A and B are shown apart, each in its own frame.
Chain A
C-alpha cells in the first residue's frame, strides 16, 4: 500500500478545512433561505401583481443594463487591451470606480449628473427628457454599477489573444474593425460572455444606486431587491419568498451560461483540452 508523506497529507487536510469553511460561509445563508420558504408558497406569491411586477422589472432592467454595459464596454475593453497611451492608468482607475464606491454614493452621483438639476440632466430636460424615477433610470443605475465587471473581464480576455493572430489578420487586408469582429472577439468570446454574465448578476442584485437615483415605485422602479427590502418591514414571509425567488433565478441563469456551450467550436475544444 502506498503511503502518503505527512506533508502531503497535512496539506490536503488544511485545504479541505479551508474549502469547507468558505463553502460554509457562502452556502449556509442561501441554504437557510431555501429551506425556510415552502415551494408552494413561492409559486402562490409569484401570482401576486406586486411580486410579479418586481420580477418582470428586475429581469427586464438587468438584461438591458448588461446589454448596455456590454455594448458600451466593448470598445473600452478593446482600447485598454490593445493600446498604450498617456493617462491609461487613470482611465482604468475611473472605470473601476463604481466597483468600490458604496452604491448609494453612486446613486447620489448619478442624481447630481443626470437629475433634473444635474450637470447633464439640465440639458436633457430642455429637450423634455427626464431620467430619475423612470425605468430607464433603473437601467442606468444598474449599468453604472455593473459595467466595470464587464470591462475588466473583457479586457483580460482580449489581452489573452495572441497578437500574431491580429497581425496575420492585418496582413490579410483586415482593417482593425474587421480584425476585431472576425478574430479578436471570437477568440475572446468565452471571457466576454463571462464578463457579460457577471455584469448581469451584479445588475440584478443592485439596490443602493437604484433606490437613490431611480426611486421606489411598484411596477416602475421597484426591482426585486427593493421589493424584498420593503416587504421585510411589513411581511417577513413575503420577503423570504421573494429572496428565494431571486436566488433561484440567479442560480438558474448562472448555471445555464456555464453549462450550455457558447462560442466557436474550436475555442471550446481548446478549452476542454487545455
Chain B
C-alpha cells in the first residue's frame, strides 16, 4: 500500500497531491501536459524530493520532510519506466535486464537464472544478445519492463508506456501489458493522457489539474459523476453546473445553469449541483421532436467527428445553449444528412439525469 502526500513547487507548477494506492492495484494518473504527472512519478521514484510531505510504502517510510527522512532512489524498491524507456545503449538486452541485479551484487548463477526467466516471460529469449538500437518499439518496451520487474519492485511507475509505439504495436501490446500489470503484487501508477488507456488499465483514476487532484475514483465514478469540466471532457461526458431552481411535475426538478435550464430527476436535495449527461442519451432531429423527452435544445452542428476505430459512431458537437456533445450512429448521420452548420434539435430525457454534488 502506497501512501503519499506531495507538495512541490517546480518552475510554474505548484503541486499538492495526496495519493493512496493498494498493493496489486493500478492507479491511472491523468492530466494535461504540465499538470504535474511526471513530477509526481519523479517524486515517488526518489529522483527529486518534495518540498513537504510524506511517502510511505507498506509501512516503510521513504520520505518524510518533517522527520528528516529521504531515501535516495537506489534505496527504494521502485520500478520506473520513462516514456522513451532509457535502455542502456552500450549494453545488450541481457545486460540491460541484468543491470539491477548486478548492481545489487547478486550471485552469478542466481542472476542468470532470474534474468533468463524474465526474458522468457516477456518473449525476449531470442533477443538476448541484441543491442537496444536493433529492437523494435514493442521489443524495447518489453525489455524495459523486464528490466524493472526482475527486481520485484513494490511500486511500479509507468510514464505513458504506450505513447512511443505506433498504433498497430500499441494495440497488440496493450492486452499483454494489462495482463502483466494485473498479475503484479506491486502498486502501480500508470500515467497517461489517453482516456481509453486510463479506463483500460486503471483500477482507479486520479485526475491531476494544475498540480491538484481534482477527482480520484473508480472509472465508473468518473463516468457517471465527473467533478470538473476537464474530467468530464476527458471521459467524453457532458457536464452542466447549476442550481436547483424549482420542482416540476412527475418527480422532476428544473436546474438553472448560466446557459439555460435543464429538467432533471429530483435528487431529494437543493442548492448547487452538477449534472452529467452521456452523449449517447442525446437524440438528434431535424424537426422538433414529438417524443417524451423533457429537454430539447436547438442549435447548429459545430463539428462532426467519426469515432475510432471504424467510424461507426460519430461525435457531434453542438453550439446549443448550453453547448452539448452528442454521440450518434453513422446510420443516423447518413439518414439525417448531418453536416457542419446544419441546425438540429437535440433531445434527451430527464429521468436518467440525476444531479449530484
Chain A residues engaging chain B, CB cutoff 8 angstroms: 164-165, 167-176, 178, 182-183, 186-187, 264-267, 269-270
B79: CB under 8 A from chain A? yes
Q: Tell whether, in the assembled complex, residue A173 and residue B151 are in contact, meaning their CB atoms are under 8 Å apart.
A: yes
Taking a contact as CB atoms closer than 8 A, the residue among A165, A167, A172, A265 that contacts B47 in the complex is A167
Q: How far is the CA of A52 from the CA of B73 in the complex (A)?
A: 56
- What are the residues of chain B within 8 A of A169 when measuring CB–CB? 88, 99, 103
- What are the residues of chain B within 8 A of A168 when measuring CB–CB? 80, 82, 86, 88
Taking a contact as CB atoms closer than 8 A, the residue among A171, A174, A183, A187 that contacts B78 in the complex is A171
B242: CB under 8 A from chain A? no
Binary contact readout B142-166 vs A (1 if CB under 8 angstroms, 0 otherwise): 0000011001000000000000000
A interface majority secondary structure: helix
Shortest beta-carbon distance, A184 to chain B, in Å? 11
- What are the residues of chain B within 8 A of A186 when measuring CB–CB? 90
Q: Tell whether, in the assembled complex, residue A175 and residue B74 are in contact, meaning their CB atoms are under 8 Å apart.
A: yes
Taking a contact as CB atoms closer than 8 A, the residue among A167, A178, A182, A266 that contacts B89 in the complex is A266
Shortest beta-carbon distance, B70 to chain A, in Å? 14
Q: How far is the CA of A98 from the CA of B78 in the complex (A)?
A: 45
Q: Tell whether, in the assembled complex, residue B46 and residue A170 are in contact, meaning their CB atoms are under 8 Å apart.
A: yes
Q: Tell whether, in the assembled complex, residue B86 and residue A164 are in contact, meaning their CB atoms are under 8 Å apart.
A: yes
Shortest beta-carbon distance, A264 to chain B, in Å? 4
Q: Tell whether, in the assembled complex, residue A165 and residue B88 are in contact, meaning their CB atoms are under 8 Å apart.
A: yes
Shortest beta-carbon distance, B305 to chain A, in Å? 36
Q: How far is the CA of A186 from the CA of B88 in the complex (A)?
A: 10
Number of interface residues, chain B, beta carbon within 8 A: 29
Residue among A164, A167, A183, A267 facing the most chain B CB atoms (10 A cut-off):
A167
- What are the residues of chain A within 8 A of B88 when measuring CB–CB? 165, 168-169, 183
Given contacts A165-B86, A186-B90, A264-B90, contact A171 B80 (CB under 8 A): yes
Shortest beta-carbon distance, A177 to chain B, in Å? 10
Given contacts A175-B103, A266-B131, contact A170 B73 (CB under 8 A): yes
Given contacts A170-B47, A171-B47, A172-B148, contact A267 B90 (CB under 8 A): yes
Can you show 5 pairs from A to B with CB atoms below 8 A apart?
A: A164-B82, A171-B148, A172-B74, A172-B147, A266-B132
Q: Tell whether, in the assembled complex, residue A167 and residue B86 are in contact, meaning their CB atoms are under 8 Å apart.
A: yes
Q: Tell whether, in the assembled complex, residue B72 and residue A182 are in contact, meaning their CB atoms are under 8 Å apart.
A: no
B53-95: which have CB < 8 Å to A? Answer: 72-76, 78-80, 82, 84, 86, 88-91
Given contacts A174-B103, A175-B74, A182-B99, contact A187 B148 (CB under 8 A): no
- What are the residues of chain B within 8 A of A265 when measuring CB–CB? 90, 131
B239: CB under 8 A from chain A? no
Shortest beta-carbon distance, B144 to chain A, in Å? 9
Taking a contact as CB atoms closer than 8 A, the residue among A165, A174, A183, A270 that contacts B74 in the complex is A174
B249: CB under 8 A from chain A? no
Q: In chain A, what residue has the closest Cβ to B102?
A: A182
